[in-house]
């Protein structure tokens, strides 16, 4: 409660023009990139550098047209790097990746190319005021995750170029935080992301809220329909805990919300061969735990899952609450699953040992997918209740990996109905 009160006060101070260093009327203050010249990225970086004078506050309103361009959106050539104790306000503004950018929209400043070990940061907030949008490039240099080859499985103008990575990587993520404690990402619309819209690695005590997505896994670029894969919405990766995800809306090319803790090989951070920017130490506490997900309304336009939980290699996911999920897909059976737990595919580590995925409370779900709840791994000590299934051709819960991998799970209050338009 205290953290949110402080953030609210910061926003109030910003909107009334108070606090920090005084500025001449109608002249942008030093924490506003409109006060500077140079490329848009250079101007934003100067505003971030000035933020300590304003209590860590950076304001990005709409870009003011100037001699260089009449556009009102900000064209990013590289990621906005946010240090500790920083609040970034996007005030009715649009951040758009330029066609020469192969980087995130926003990244915690502790992580990046060549940073082998990420050091923790605290108190980073990204807050949209009014209509705040993040838009992908018109012609992305790369899309997809580190398992997708450019020009073959997913689009990228870097395909075939010497000296450029030929697969996707963590630079394709929209908003990327690593090892950040006490954070918030709120009130943003993310359109045509190059990979996952928001990804958190080893983050704790935070909130992701009021985020809307509009991505479909395919785009028309220069008159051709192309794939832009792995367009998840919000992803929590290994080591995330004490996080609330709420009021998520829209459509994504891949999973709308995903908690994924996979991969067992030690590696340094900052390399371009991974979709995670931080290092991986198998001996560390990499479990995902104590996560609340609520008020999710949307679907996967690519026909995948709406909410997915995936863990492997001895990494656990536990104490998870998922409350109020509404599948808004245009037709019944559009998505594979409204909720998917685990994966029997050996490529993802296979069925998790019984006891590695536990303590789930899933309730108040509206589903029209091929599977309302698909258990493809293991699940123990959990409850699934109050599910309204608009595709009664399937069973209430699909035990793809076998009931022997599901223990002490209470399943009750499933209602099978047909939507009025299908009767």
Same-domain pairing of 193 and 234: yes
Same-domain pairing of 100 and 111: yes
Same-domain pairing of 229 and 322: no
* CA separation, residue 154 to residues 20, 111, 215, 229 (Å): 46, 25, 14, 6
Same-domain pairing of 383 and 241: no
Whether the pLDDT of residue 254 is over 70: the answer is: yes
pLDDT band at 1 (very low <50, low <70, confident <90, very high): very low
- Domain boundary pick from 230, 254, 278: 254
Evaluate whether residue 278 is within a structural domain. Answer: no
- Domain boundary pick from 231, 254, 277: 254
pLDDT digits (tens, 9 = 90+) for 10-68: 555 454 444 444 445 589 999 999 999 999 999 999 999 999 999 999 999 999 999 98
pLDDT band at 418 (very low <50, low <70, confident <90, very high): low
Do residues 274 and 267 make contact, with C-beta atoms less than 8 angstroms apart? yes
- Domain boundary pick from 254, 271, 304: 254
Same-domain pairing of 193 and 303: no
pTM of the model: 0.94
Same-domain pairing of 224 and 259: no
Per-chain mean pLDDT for the chain? 93
8 vs 46 pLDDT, higher one: 46
Whether the pLDDT of residue 232 is over 60: the answer is: yes
pLDDT band at 349 (very low <50, low <70, confident <90, very high): confident
pLDDT digits (tens, 9 = 90+) for 171-200: 999 999 999 999 999 999 999 999 999 999
Q: Output the pLDDT for position 147.
A: 95
Same-domain pairing of 259 and 235: no
Whether the pLDDT of residue 9 is over 80: the answer is: no
Same-domain pairing of 145 and 192: yes
Evaluate whether residue 189 is within a structural domain. Answer: yes
Whether the pLDDT of residue 220 is over 80: the answer is: yes
Per the structure, the complete domain to which residue 138 belongs is given by 1-254
Same-domain pairing of 96 and 233: yes
Q: Output the pLDDT for position 189.
A: 98
For β-strands 379-389 and 234-236, DSSP reports them as unpaired
Evaluate whether residue 46 is within a structural domain. Answer: yes
Evaluate whether residue 201 is within a structural domain. Answer: yes
Q: Output the pLDDT for position 419.
A: 56
Q: Output the pLDDT for position 7.
A: 53
Evaluate whether residue 276 is within a structural domain. Answer: no
Q: How many domains does the chain have?
A: 2
Q: What is the CATH number of the domain that holds 102?
A: 2.160.20.10
Question: Percentage of residues in the chain with pLDDT exceeding 70?
Answer: 93
pLDDT digits (tens, 9 = 90+) for 397-410: 999 999 999 999 99
Same-domain pairing of 335 and 236: no
* CA separation, residue 73 to residues 29, 44, 133, 172, 338 (Å): 19, 12, 9, 20, 35
Evaluate whether residue 218 is within a structural domain. Answer: yes
Do residues 139 and 222 make contact, with C-beta atoms less than 8 angstroms apart? yes
Evaluate whether residue 279 is within a structural domain. Answer: no
Evaluate whether residue 9 is within a structural domain. Answer: yes
CB burial class (10 A; 0-12, 13-18, 19+) of residue 77?
Answer: middle
Same-domain pairing of 297 and 218: no
Q: Output the pLDDT for position 422.
A: 54
Query: Angle 10-13-16 (CA atoms, 0-180°, nearest 5)?
Result: 150
Do residues 95 and 107 make contact, with C-beta atoms less than 8 angstroms apart? no
Same-domain pairing of 116 and 231: yes
């Amino acid at each position: 409660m205290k953290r949110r009160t402080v953030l609210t006060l910061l926003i109030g101070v910003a909107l009334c023009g108070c606090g920090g260093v005084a500025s001449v009327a109608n002249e942008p203050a030093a924490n506003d990139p409109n006060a500077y010249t140079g490329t848009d990225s250079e101007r934003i970086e100067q505003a971030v550098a000035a933020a300590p004078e304003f209590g860590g506050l950076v304001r990005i309103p709409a870009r003011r047209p100037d001699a260089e361009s009449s556009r009102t959106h900000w064209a990013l050539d590289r990621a906005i790097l946010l240090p500790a104790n920083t609040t970034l306000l996007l005030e009715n503004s649009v951040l758009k990746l330029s066609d020469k950018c192969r980087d995130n929209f926003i990244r915690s400043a502790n992580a990046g190319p060549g940073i082998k070990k990420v050091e923790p940061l605290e108190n980073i907030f990204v807050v949209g005021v009014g209509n705040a949008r993040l838009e992908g490039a018109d012609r992305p240099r790369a899309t997809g995750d580190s398992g997708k080859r450019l020009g073959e499985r997913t689009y990228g103008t870097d395909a075939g170029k010497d000296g450029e990575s030929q697969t996707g990587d963590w630079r394709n993520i929209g908003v990327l935080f690593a090892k950040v404690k006490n954070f918030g990402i709120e009130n943003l619309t993310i359109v045509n992301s190059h990979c996952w819209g928001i990804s958190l690695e080893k983050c704790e005590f935070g909130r992701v809220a009021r985020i809307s997505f509009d991505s479909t896994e395919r785009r028309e670029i220069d008159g051709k329909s192309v794939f832009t894969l792995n367009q998840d919405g919000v992803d929590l990766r290994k080591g995330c805990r004490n996080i609330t995800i709420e009021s998520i809306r829209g459509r994504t090319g891949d999973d709308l919300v995903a908690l994924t803790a996979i991969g067992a090989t030690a590696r340094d951070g900052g390399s371009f061969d991974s979709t995670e920017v931080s290092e991986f130490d198998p001996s560390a506490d990499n479990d995902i735990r104590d996560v609340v997900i609520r008020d999710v309304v949307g679907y996967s336009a690519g026909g995948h899952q709406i909410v997915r939980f995936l863990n492997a290699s001895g990494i656990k996911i536990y104490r998870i609450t998922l409350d109020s999920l509404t599948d808004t897909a245009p037709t019944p059976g559009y998505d594979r699953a409204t909720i998917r737990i685990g994966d029997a595919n050996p490529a993802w580590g296979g069925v998790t040992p019984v006891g590695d995925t536990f303590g789930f409370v899933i309730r108040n779900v509206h589903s029209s997918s091929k599977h309302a709840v698909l258990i493809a791994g293991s699940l123990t000590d959990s409850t699934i209740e109050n599910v309204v299934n608009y595709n009664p051709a399937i069973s209430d819960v699909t035990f793809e990996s076998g009931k022997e991998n599901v223990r002490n799970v209470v399943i009750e209050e499933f209602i099978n109905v047909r939507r009025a338009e299908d009767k």
